[in-house]
A and B are shown apart, each in its own frame.
Chain A
Amino acid sequence: MARAVTTRRKAVNTAIAWTIGLLIFFPILWTFLTSFKTEAEAISSPPAFLFFDWTLENYGAVQERSNYFRHFMNSVVISIGSTVIGLIIAVPAAWAMAFVPGRQTRNVLMWMLSTKMLPPVGVLVPIYLIFRDFGLLDTRTGLVIVLTLINLPIIVWMLYTYFREIPGEILEAARMDGASLRNEIIHVLTPMAVPGIASTLLLNVILAWNEAFWTLNLTAANAAPLTAFIASYSSPEGLFYAKLSAASTMAIAPILIIGWFSQKQLVRGLTFGAVK
């Protein structure tokens, strides 16, 4: 509903919006800046904003303190692994529901969504005990399984809302031309579905990367992804602001960049297509 306005009005809007935007962004910017300070400068009073001796030592210190790279890789493996397995299960399901809807399709979709309403704490005890008995506690495999399951409904729903926008006539035309179901999927559907699948993938990597209930409760030193690793800074030894900032910057940077690129898909994905 944007309409033409006077330049003066536009300048005022710009000033207000930028001020608020920078205030909201400030904690992230501050973390980023602090990660390049020495520990002494990080808590200096008055605080140093840009004029301090920029150093990279914290990034090295974070790695030395407890093998940061390992936890980073845990995050990568767990978030990408759970998303890819989720997609493998969800793509056929969403395809079938979008193009061959039956009487039960709607109910199945709603039921899938309802599993998302199950509060994790409601099944914390049995999952913990099952994981203990099957030796899955503190393993990447265990977390990939859980995160695949908790994000599967979102993956199915997102794909479904994308697939539904692919015109069915194209598939019918292909069928008339004698294309088999397999050919239909590979040559007709896939090219049209790729953008939707890509957005779904990005959104779910973000969600899995930041998941902080199961990752905190089911891991210890071995399989802890960054969410759980960063939590170890809640009981630190000595000065740690600069190291916390360095660890945090590396933990959020990749996902912040992915998030910025996929912001358009975010809305429909997170509202299950209710707002586009």
Chain B
Amino acid sequence: MATQHSRAAARLMISPAVVVLLLWMIVPLALTLYFSTLRYNLLMPGANPFVGLENYRYFFTDPAFTTALVNTLLLVGGVLVITVGGGIALALLLDQEMFGQGIVRLLVIAPFFVMPTVSALVWKNMFMDPVNGLFGYIARAFGAQPFEWLTAAPLFSIILIVSWQWLPFATLILLTAIQSLSSEQLEAAEMDGAGFGSKFLWIILPHLARAITVVILIQTIFLLSIFAEILVTTGGGPGVASTNLTYLVYIQSLLQFDVGLGSAGGVVAIVLANIVAIFLMRMIGKNLDA
């Protein structure tokens, strides 16, 4: 139905968005790639000679890189297991008939709206602090030694904090998906004598497959870039015990002022994210046709 005239108008209307995003994508990306081949430290003014792939060699041979890579994967994997597992359980629960369902729903999704620095600091101080935190108090009440959450198990503690923030997201999306399941199908299965286990495995889980995939892929994009929660709780420590890739690049570029090395790390982070992104794009692309 579109005329020549409206096509031209459409192109004109799309172009501002395309142009700004193109600039936003290409300019910094090109600069990151360029800087990553220079010996460039803000503390050492002067020439920034081309050094080829030297920064990448430093970055990959730095023992902190391996730790950070493993931490990144543990952080993403740990949070995904907790939020998807917990999300399915919670979604099943919230789908049941109960009194005050709407209010419970509001309670459960609330953590998603708490800004990362607030949730990290509240958990760090008011719950995980061994002296003044609630967990410490509970431990002492049972005659146990308070657990030093952020020094003894820093990465695990951060996984817990981040899971609390993302559980609502998984729950909300999985609940939306469960509610679109037809009850006839379940009733038919029940008449055939199916228990909860087989109903869950053969009807509910397959129905949720698409929503679970969406949750995993979208969360992964955000979880690869966890930053604030680490900054305000452990600062990546002790040592590099809770440093992920994002935090490592931050240390190198903004704390050590090593533009070259930081850029090389940035490129590595981009490559890692792109591997994940390819899967996500394919998923959402399919939906566009549906």
Contact = CB atoms under 8 A, between A and B. Distances in A.
Contacts of B115: 209-210, 212, 226-227, 230, 251-252, 255
Nearest to B42: A129
B90 to A, nearest CB: 7
A210 B113 contact: yes
- Most chain A CB atoms below 10 A, which of B13, B112, B211, B259: B13
Interface in B81-114: 90, 93-101, 103-114
A122 B273 contact: yes
- Most chain B CB atoms below 10 A, which of A43, A124, A149: A124
Given A27-B164, A89-B20, A97 B14 contact: yes
Interface residues on A, range: 35 or more
Interface in A1-56: 1-5, 9-11, 13-14, 16-18, 20-22, 24-25, 27-28, 30-31, 34, 43, 45-47
Contacts of A186: none
A6 to B, nearest CB: 10
- Most chain A CB atoms below 10 A, which of B21, B25, B98, B115: B115
A263 B98 contact: no
A275 B218 CA distance: 12
Interface residues on B, range: 35 or more
Nearest to B258: A125
A126 B32 contact: yes
Contacts of A99: 10
B6 interface: yes
Nearest to B119: A27
A3 B95 CA distance: 10
A244 B122 contact: yes
Interface in B111-126: 111-119, 121-126
A122 B269 contact: yes
Given A3-B183, A172-B1, A118 B107 contact: no
Question: Is chain A's binding surface mostly helix, strand, loop or mixed?
Answer: helix
Given A181-B9, A251-B118, A149 B288 contact: no
B117 A212 contact: yes
Contacts of A5: 96-97
Interface string A253-273: 001101110010011001111
Contacts of A206: 113
A1 B183 CA distance: 5
Contact of B112 (A20, A45, A129, A259): A259
Given A209-B115, A248-B122, A121 B20 contact: no
B262 A228 contact: no
Given A117-B274, A256-B110, A1 B93 contact: no
A109 interface: yes
Contacts of B95: 1-2
Interface stretch (B57-65, B151-159, B276-284): B276-284
Q: Which 5 A-B pairs have the closest CB atoms?
A: A126-B31, A117-B277, A92-B13, A123-B28, A212-B228
29 contacts: A1-B179, A2-B179, A21-B103, A25-B110, A27-B164, A92-B14, A93-B13, A93-B17, A100-B9, A114-B281, A115-B24, A122-B29, A124-B249, A124-B250, A125-B262, A126-B31, A128-B254, A149-B21, A181-B9, A212-B115, A212-B116, A217-B250, A234-B121, A252-B113, A252-B118, A255-B115, A260-B113, A270-B173, A274-B214
